[in-house]
Structure 1
């Protein structure tokens, strides 16, 4: 099934980013040095908005009540334009838009000499994430993963004059390369057992295989989940996160914590449900139920380890890194409970997607505040937040809402998202993971409230007398993130019902 010229229209979101990346990179080369490279940032944002417009257009076509368009399958199912992919693409594009928007006027030339490259490198990274969301084949999945990974390595080390940035980039390249090798090795087992790289064909072949392949199926799953667990920074594969988050430029850290992590979950969801669901179902104890347990064990360890390590952090970037480890655990729960029985827990995608939206804006708001603190104090230590209420009361108020949402307190998007996941776990009677969710959320109150304590009860530090250095894009990002966090808390049903309306696990995703 060759790719026809008429098929390219369905790749408009991806092609927009490809063309924009090429054009902006050429502009960066030909523009005189005296011209401010901020214009390249605005052009990158514009291209992302156009791409998001195409995604929304195809979502509308796929869900027209009168004459809906069937999911588009290109190159023998290796690339698929469906509601699953489009929903994730919106998260990737919106997250990248805000990361670039925060960067406008905040990136100092002495920190990042090649600001043009900084802006347009986010485009191929986001393109890689979009390919991961739409892939129905191991090869395209891996191509998207590496496109995202390699550009992320460059972005982490783009502050060439910073020793911490160089160290972070080196660690990220080494650990990321090892993780990619694990994933590729696991995929090679799948290809060796089935003779195919198509996800649906692999699943059909594995379900028809005899028990002699059982050990190799386990090995392939362990290798892939270890590699992807590293990509999403889920314990015990999280060791790189704190150092990389601390060393990278703050907008890049925000990108890793939101867009890159979301892309990892899109890939996990694809592989788990298209490759491993139903494997060994003819046996008394199906193999795929063991995979459910493995995912939940990783989720539990991520929640426990992430929240525990965050307790002793005095650097905000490191604290948010371990918070991200814990949240990776919360986001893995819906994937795990969906495999608890032979019939998938069909609302698990909407539970995960809702919390991903809440997590996106909670982190964007948190990193935007952190950028303002760094511009004022020159570092990302917790003591930089001392007396924030007295310096910028409205910003402090917005940050309190974001922190309460991260902690999971009513009535915020983070609270509602955790409640949906918790109720899903209780529905399938996985009580132990529900208990761990509750206990670890309680633990998280301590370190989130330690930041609030700094803002309202600490005024003895020299930084507390400095006026907060806020740019207009940072302020707008903070308030949009806060507003959406509150709205998600008060009106969650609008998002949940919309996802339920346009996405069906059986007909839209499993390619039945």
Structure 2
């Protein structure tokens, strides 16, 4: 029973989460007490400091001798969670930093609320990454979801924002209900909400409960598919991306998606992917279903992006395609010939983080200069702002997955793992859809270098946006030059049995 109580010493392991909780409360009080005419920029800096402090606490708990479990195994502090938390906090920090002094009042009417609402949203993702129990998982999921709904709906007077927020709330509620319904079947079959205990119970009785096993898995797959915007559960993404202000869109595209992938990895392997269930036909069907969803996301995302004229909608479909690429390491399962699934996934997720936040920084610069989100707003960018254009080219090369970029090696590592497990058709889909993506990605470069902006509008780059842009572009290139540094660091820290496969 001692494990059910949270000891005072255990609070130290919750320092990253408690930092964000305290900061969110303090910032909300400050925002209420400060007069309306006072600039809220200081709140942005305080929010950024709290995220950095939380990240430092996470770094302090990296690579422990053994995972720390709290509250009867419902919360885990292990290196799977720590690496995912660092990714989430990095994304949140970059979104916060590039927003300071860069967003206009019409884009984010309540800037103070924007800064402190990002903190509980990030906290929800961190809880999801550390969850060892379905109740903890759902609490983190809803904390992230509800906060995201509010962030998307902040532009109350914008019709597109209202439409996107309405679709997001309705479809998000349906997806949460599907996840909860799937969890209820797991609880009914096992009598427990603990992921490890559910796996043990299903391993003993799974064959007798096969119909309910399939039903629970497909309900969870549909619910989580919405959260990561993977086809065919992606229909909300383009409208929500276009309706939300650009920093919030960047947050949804990177941080929210990374949190959902963290729990997919934790849940699908912890419940369905190990133990006695591996000997049942269900296991192969589960992996095949994930592969089909991954392939559908890659095909639909890339081919639909070809027809887009709005940059936000193009990035939405690009994100759908990237959800497919990120699902592949989860779908191909660990095997003796291939057990680096998580390191491949984490490397590409890191590359995805920097190249996407960087391109959203470009979009924010163009919005400030022309007030437009159309791809044509990039016309003649090289002649108006050469530095911004060069950084954008570096980011686009990484998005397209060309050599000497983080995106290239991320896709190569995933593809090699797919080939090692002999899923050649899935590798072929990856290659084919990547080639298709060259057309619309290079369309951005064509606009910058081969088109003219007849109005010759000046491009003003606020310092935080400029730093974020070049930081993301530089890291995208660095990941392509020395990918082994990051991949080796992940493999050195992460332990498959300790950090992903766990027993009660």
TM-score range, shorter chain: over 0.9
From 83, 90, 109, give the equivalent of 2:86: 90
Task: Name the CA distance, whole Å, in 2 between partners of 1:326 and 1:258.
Answer: 13
Alignment of 1:302-321 (within 5 A): 302-321=297-316
Q: What is aligned with 1:326?
A: 321
Task: Name the CA distance, whole Å, in 2 between partners of 1:386 and 1:154.
Answer: 34
Task: Name the CA distance, whole Å, in 2 between partners of 1:231 and 1:319.
Answer: 19
Matched, 1:246 2:242: yes
Matched, 1:104 2:97: no
Cα distance change, pair 171–281 in 1 and its aligned pair in 2 (3 A): closer
CA contact (8 A) 1:405 1:415 kept: yes
CA contact (8 A) 1:279 1:287 kept: no
Q: What is aligned with 1:406?
A: 399
Task: Name the CA distance, whole Å, in 2 between partners of 1:229 and 1:56.
Answer: 30
CA contact (8 A) 1:355 1:417 kept: yes
Alignment of 1:89-488 (within 5 A): 89-278=85-274, 281=277, 283=279, 285-338=280-333, 345-459=338-452, 461-463=453-455, 465-488=456-479
Task: Name the CA distance, whole Å, in 2 between partners of 1:282 and 1:392.
Answer: 56
Structure 1 residue 55: Cα displacement? 0.3
Cα distance change, pair 357–247 in 1 and its aligned pair in 2 (3 A): same
Q: For 2:439, what is the secondary structure of its paired residue?
A: helix
Cα distance change, pair 450–210 in 1 and its aligned pair in 2 (3 A): closer
Task: Name the CA distance, whole Å, in 1 between partners of 2:395 and 2:7.
Answer: 47
Task: Name the CA distance, whole Å, in 2 between partners of 1:317 and 1:398.
Answer: 18
* TM-score, structure 2 as length reference: 0.97
Q: What is aligned with 1:40?
A: 43
Instruction: Describe the superposition over 1:361-406 as per-residue Cα deviations: whole angstroms up to 9, x where unpaired.
Output: 0001100000000111111001100000000111101101100110
Matched, 1:49 2:49: no
Structure 1 residue 110: Cα displacement? 3.4
Cα distance change, pair 450–130 in 1 and its aligned pair in 2 (3 A): same
Q: For 2:76, what is the secondary structure of its paired residue?
A: strand
Structure 1 residue 467: Cα displacement? 1.1
Structure 1 residue 263: Cα displacement? 0.4
Q: For 1:435, what is the secondary structure of its paired residue?
A: helix
Q: For 1:462, what is the secondary structure of its paired residue?
A: coil
CA contact (8 A) 2:274 2:501 kept: no
From 15, 20, 38, give the equivalent of 1:17: 20
Task: Name the CA distance, whole Å, in 1 between partners of 2:499 and 2:35.
Answer: 49
- Flag structure 2 segments of 5+ consecutive residues without an equivalent: none
Cα distance change, pair 385–282 in 1 and its aligned pair in 2 (3 A): closer
- Flag structure 1 segments of 5+ consecutive residues without an equivalent: 63-67
Instruction: Describe the superposition over 1:183-203 as per-residue Cα deviations: whole angstroms up to 9, x where unpaired.
Output: 000000000000000000000
CA contact (8 A) 1:278 1:288 kept: no
Q: For 1:92, what is the secondary structure of its paired residue?
A: helix
CA contact (8 A) 1:278 1:286 kept: no
Q: For 1:59, what is the secondary structure of its paired residue?
A: coil
Cα distance change, pair 277–344 in 1 and its aligned pair in 2 (3 A): farther
Q: Which has the higher contact order (CA 8 A, sep 6+)?
A: 2
CA contact (8 A) 1:135 1:141 kept: yes
Q: For 2:208, what is the secondary structure of its paired residue?
A: helix
* TM-score, structure 1 as length reference: 0.96
Cα distance change, pair 85–282 in 1 and its aligned pair in 2 (3 A): closer
Task: Name the CA distance, whole Å, in 1 between partners of 2:294 and 2:107.
Answer: 37
CA contact (8 A) 2:337 2:421 kept: no
Task: Name the CA distance, whole Å, in 2 between partners of 1:462 and 1:152.
Answer: 38
CA contact (8 A) 1:183 1:223 kept: yes
Task: Name the CA distance, whole Å, in 1 between partners of 2:155 and 2:72.
Answer: 42
Structure 1 residue 280: Cα displacement? 5.5
Task: Name the CA distance, whole Å, in 2 between partners of 1:428 and 1:376.
Answer: 49
Task: Name the CA distance, whole Å, in 1 between partners of 2:275 and 2:10.
Answer: 33
Q: For 2:61, what is the secondary structure of its paired residue?
A: helix
CA contact (8 A) 2:67 2:498 kept: no
